[in-house]
Amino acid sequence: MSWAPQIYDLTRPMNHDTLVALAGKLAVGDGPVKDLAFSWLRSWERGDNGAQCEWTLNDHFGTHLDAPSHIVRGAATVDRIELSRVFGEAVVIDCSFARGRGLTGDDFGRAGPEVRPDDIVLVYSAEQPGTPDEYLLNQTYVTPSGAEWLVEHRVRTIGVEPFGFEHVYDGICVRECYRPEVEDPWPAHRICLSAGIYIIEGLTNLEPLLGRRVRFAGLPLRMPESSGSPIRAIAWDDVA
């Protein structure tokens, strides 16, 4: 008998609409979140004998993986991560009760089902899409206490729906975290990534999987020295 599981695609399209949905006004005009550039090198429509295009994009575009080097100086870049940490058994937990605020360790403990050691944890927060006219001030995010809880429970990877594991507008626009004099700019990122817990951001379509254990894969491109990579995140049923 052939193996034909139902596949759940948890990946957002790589286009401008996705960037606005994830980043709101930060993705508009000369905002700090940069758009995808797409152009045809060859196309059937213009009479070429084949189709080929060119992309220019940020390594944290859309549904993507943060490698440890994104926040931790000298840590592994995306081509040197352990692929076994982004492939395997996952649990989809419901944190929608905390939508629009920081997720703490107590919140993760309250959310069901139970998180086990070595789980890939996918967090449903019922995130609402952004618009070109508004900043996402009510983004759900993970606090340092939430990150410490994940380390204590020895998870492999944590995946979230928002564009940022931490509050994007606060970090970029309020605290200006990328200025070199800012110490510990993204503490929840640092706590997880320095402990070898990878971070996936920008997931979608988690609601049908709420409360379930599934198989998951979110493999990045093997781009040397990159701090992250878009991924194709999928889940399927194959857990007893």
Residue 179 belongs to some domain of the structure: yes
Q: Is residue 108 part of a domain?
A: yes
The type of residue at 202 is G
- The residue segments making up the domain with residue 157 are 7-236
Backbone angles phi, psi at 81, to 5 degrees: -75, 165
Q: 16: exposed, middle or buried (C-beta count within 10 Å: 0-12, 13-18, 19+)?
A: middle
> Per-residue pLDDT for 239 more than 80?
no
Mean pLDDT of the chain: 95
CATH of the domain at 50: 3.50.30.50
Asked whether residue 232 is assigned to any structural domain, the reply reads yes
- What pTM value is reported for the model? 0.95
Residue 165 belongs to a domain = yes
Are the CB atoms for 32 and 170 separated by under 8 Å?
no
Tens-place pLDDT, residues 71-105 = 999 999 999 999 999 999 999 999 999 999 999 99
Mean per-residue pLDDT, 192-210: 97
- Give a yes or no: residue 1 inside a domain: no
Number of independent structural domains in the chain: 1
2-11, 136-145, 202-211, 218-227, range with the lowest pLDDT: 2-11
Q: Taking 70 as the threshold, does the pLDDT of residue 240 lie above it?
A: no
Name the residue with higher pLDDT: 2 or 31.
31
Pairing relationship of beta strands 120-124 and 157-160 according to DSSP bridges: parallel
Distance (Å, rounded) from C-alpha 66 to C-alpha 197? 10
For every residue of 134-152, which 3-state class applies, written as one string?
CCCCCCCEECHHHHHHHHH
pLDDT score at 17? 96
